[in-house]
Each structure stands twice: as C-alpha cells, then as structure tokens.
Amino acid sequence: MVTVEKVRNDRLLRALARQPVDTTPVWIMRQAGRYLPEYRKVRAEAGSFTKLYRTPELACKVTLQPLERYPLDAAILFSDILTVPDAMGLGLEFTEGEGPRFARPVRSTRDILRLNVPDPEEELGYVMAAMRLIRSELSGRVPLIGFAGSPWTLATYMVEGHSSSNFRHIKGLMLQLPAEMHRLLKVVADAVASYLNAQILAGAQAIMIFDTWGGVLTSRDYLEFSLQYMRQIIDSLIREHDGQKVPVILYTKGGGAWLEEMAQSRCDAIGIDWTLDLGVARQRVGHQVSLQGNLDPCVLYANPERIRKEVGDVLASFGVGNGHVFNLGHGIHPQVNPDHVAALVDAVHELSHPYHE
C-alpha cells in the first residue's frame, strides 16, 4: 500500500494544473541516465541494462541519483518504453552498442492475434515494485512521474523488430492492411492503459506518454494511427488517485503541426520539441493545456553562460503566467557534462521568478 503523504515540492503538479508557482518547475527527459558517472557505475555493477531496469532496488537507485545532484522538481521512473511489448511475449534484448531488438517481431496477422494484454502486476511486477520503492524513498519530496510509449511508437519497434530509420514494415502494414494495423494498435493501447493504471496505483503521481515516432507520419495518418490511440488511453486512465488529480503529459516528437488536435485529447499538458517556438505553441493551445519544454538538448554542449542565456530565452518565449514545465525538447544526450545540467536547473529556478510575480 502506498501511504498518502503531501508532496512537499508540488510545483510540477501546480504547473500542470496551470496554477501559480513561485518558480518554473524543471525536470529533464532521461535525467537518470548515462551522462551521470554514478549511473554508469550502477549500470556496470548490474552487468546489463536489462538487469538494471528489472531489479527494483537498482531502478530505484538510479531514479533517485539526479535528485541527489540537482534540485529537480520531479522524479521519473527509470525504465524502458519497450517493457510492455516484452511482457506481451516479443522477447526484448539489448545488445551493446546496437540498441533494443525483439527476438519475435510482429510480422503477420497470426502474430497480431496471438498478442494479449499482460497483467501488469504479474509480467510487469518489477516495474510496480520499483514504483512503490521509489515513492517510499522519495517520501513526498517531489512528485513521481510514470510513463509509457505510445501505441504507434511501440508498434514501430514491435513490427520492425528494432530501431528503424525507414519504417518499411510498419508503414507497409499500415497502408496495405490497415484493419490489421488497427487490431495491433488496439491491443497495445489496452496494454499501455492497463500498465499506466497499475503505475498510478503503485504510486505514479503524473503520467507521460512518449510518442517518439508519431512525427514520421502524415497528418492524416498521425490522427488515425497515433493520436487516436493515445486518446483512448487517456480516456481509460485513472485520473484521480488518493485524492489527487493525476495529470497526463502527451509528447509527440516532431508533432508541432498537430498541437490543436493533441490539446483536445483530455491531456493536461503537451511536451514540445525544440524546433517549435514555445511562445507560438502557447498562443495556439496555451488556453487549453500546459506546455512542457523545450530547450534544444544540444544547448547542454555549450558553456554554462550560454546555457543560462538559452534557458532565459525559452522562459521569455513562454512569457509571464502559469502552465509551463521546463524541460529539454527531447532526452538528454549521454555525452553531456553533468555540471552543465546543474547550470540549466539553477538558471530555470533563478531566471523564472519575474514570470511568476
């Protein structure tokens, strides 16, 4: 059982609800990760990435590492988006330097028919155990974010079998057998909804859905094959737990053209990548949802002075008012100097005061 405690730093939850905050909250996509030497140490001791994310104590440990270093306003579960298709029986493997690979990719109608929604407390019990442990260790310091990949994004890996640059198999399926594609997306959406609800019951206080590959679709196909299923998930989620609203952040990399449609999905916030001007995004949908983002991750290669200037530009672009969660526009790169992250976090907190007076 999760004990209900007050979140002491509730800036994230307030910003996601478009309520006033003293300073703009900040967290970083992939904040627990390879750029941190303490992460690399635990990763090396674990022996494999799989061991790391499947062992609740280790997943908890690396989740908390960035919070020891930086005054971040949120923790996010350390895990991988591909745990769901793995639990659906595809056999996830991580090979050094090559990224994820499925032993049994989905390539036929038979493969699709064979898929079932996994029981998250059984096949994904290690994630729920990690979530409970992290909540307990955090003891209300900052909110804990749970997450999953979007059905379209998960399906790209499930059908291609690995990371893809041309999306040959999945787009062939989508175009030639759209009914089969929908059948696949439906079962994945059900699995993701069930997984996220289990995360909420295990302690997740906000949810983020990562649609890493929605941006490779045409407008028509994005609405039909990606956004539709994210909407279905949002409609199935537990939206209040332990007397607290559980906000949902929707992120489609390269999704700048579809903000209006995303804002109508009952999400609370939209994650914006760095290619879009945040002020423009706010004009378009800021009256409906909060916005999360959107510093170019490459800015962290620059020196601290320049990072501070760029943080200031993003804050100014959003402008005065509520509803901004600072983040990068995509995950932090593994080569980044950890001191530069400190410069970013401090700059957000220091420079954002004037926008909240």
Give the pair of three-digit tokens for residue 79.
Answer: 């895990």
- Residue choice 23, 277, 284, 355 for contact with a copy of itself (CB under 8 A): 277
Of 62-70, 140-148, 170-178, 226-234, which segment contacts a copy of itself by CB under 8 A?
Answer: 170-178
Q: Are 154 and 82 in contact (CB under 8 A)?
A: yes
Q: Of these, 4, 103, 175, 320, which contacts a copy of itself (CB under 8 A)?
A: 175
Nearer to a copy of itself, 38 or 296 (CB): 296
CA distance 291 to 278: 8
Residue 235 or 260: the one with the smaller Cβ distance to a copy of itself is 260
Q: Is 342 in the site for a copy of itself (CB under 8 A)?
A: no
The catalytic position among 14, 18, 43, 231 is 43
Site string for a copy of itself, 223-262 (x = CB under 8 A): -------------------------------x-xx-----
d(CA 307, CA 311): 6
Pick the closest to residue 23 from 9, 35, 37, 36 (CA basis). 9
Residue from 40, 107, 183, 306 that binds a copy of itself (CB under 8 A)?
A: 306
**Site membership for a copy of itself, residue 275 (CB under 8 A):** yes
Work out whether strand 290-295 and strand 269-271 pair parallel, antiparallel, or are unpaired: parallel
Under the criterion CB under 8 A, does residue 108 sit at the interface with a copy of itself? Answer: no
Q: Enter the tokens of residue 85.
A: 């298709």
222 noted as active-site residue: no
H, E, C per residue of 96-157:
CCCEEEECCCCCCHHHHHCCCCCCCCCCCHHHHHHHHHHHHHHCCCCCEEEEEECHHHHHHH
Which spans of this chain sit near a copy of itself (rule: CB under 8 A)? 166-168, 171-172, 175-176, 215-222, 254, 256-257, 274-277, 280, 296-299, 301-303, 306, 310, 313, 333, 335
